[in-house]
Chains A and B, each alone.
Chain A
Amino acid sequence: MENRTVSKYTTSFGLSLALTSLLNALLVVVKEKSPAVQAGMKSLTGHHWVTHASIVLVFFVAFGFLFAWVKGGHGLSLPVNRLIKTILAGVVVAGGIIVAFYLIAD
Chain B
Amino acid sequence: MTEILLMTHVLFGVACVLASVWVFVDALNASEANRNRIQWVSRAAAVFMWLSFVVGGYWYVVFYPVDKGIILKGPWPFAHAYFMETKEHLVIMLLLLATYLPIAASNRLVANPDARRLVLWVAALIPLLGLMIEGHGAVIAMGVKVALLAKHLQP
With an 8 A cutoff between CB atoms, is B93 at the interface? yes
Q: When the two chains form their complex, are residues B93 and A80 in contact, meaning their CB atoms are under 8 A apart?
A: no
Q: Which of A7, A21, A47 contacts B93 (CB 8 A)?
A: A21
With an 8 A cutoff between CB atoms, is A53 at the interface? yes
With an 8 A cutoff between CB atoms, is B92 at the interface? yes
Q: When the two chains form their complex, are residues A6 and B89 in contact, meaning their CB atoms are under 8 A apart?
A: no
With an 8 A cutoff between CB atoms, is A84 at the interface? yes
List B contacts of A77 (CB < 8 A): none
Complex CA gap A25/B90 in Å reads: 9
Q: Which of A2, A49, A83 contacts B111 (CB 8 A)?
A: A2
Given contacts A14-B100, A88-B125, 7 further A-B contacts (CB under 8 A): A6-B107, A10-B118, A46-B61, A50-B57, A53-B95, A95-B90, A102-B85
- Chosen A-B contacts, 10 in total, with CB atoms closer than 8 Å, are A1-B111, A6-B104, A10-B106, A14-B100, A46-B61, A56-B96, A57-B96, A60-B96, A88-B121, A98-B90
Q: When the two chains form their complex, are residues B61 and A95 in contact, meaning their CB atoms are under 8 A apart?
A: no
Q: When the two chains form their complex, are residues B115 and A6 in contact, meaning their CB atoms are under 8 A apart?
A: yes
Complex CA gap A57/B94 in Å reads: 12
List B contacts of A20 (CB < 8 A): 96
Q: When the two chains form their complex, are residues A24 and B114 in contact, meaning their CB atoms are under 8 A apart?
A: no
CB distance from A50 to the nearest CB of B (A): 6
Complex CA gap A98/B121 in Å reads: 21
CB distance from B85 to the nearest CB of A (A): 5
Interface residues of B in 88-146 (CB under 8 A from A): 88-90, 92-93, 95-97, 99-100, 103-104, 106-108, 111-115, 117-118, 121-122, 125, 129
**Residue ID in chain B nearest A49 by CB atoms:** B88
List B contacts of A34 (CB < 8 A): none
**Residue ID in chain A nearest B111 by CB atoms:** A3
A4-B114 contact given A10-B106, A87-B121, CB 8 Å threshold: yes
Q: When the two chains form their complex, are residues B118 and A84 in contact, meaning their CB atoms are under 8 A apart?
A: yes
**Residue ID in chain B nearest A27 by CB atoms:** B89
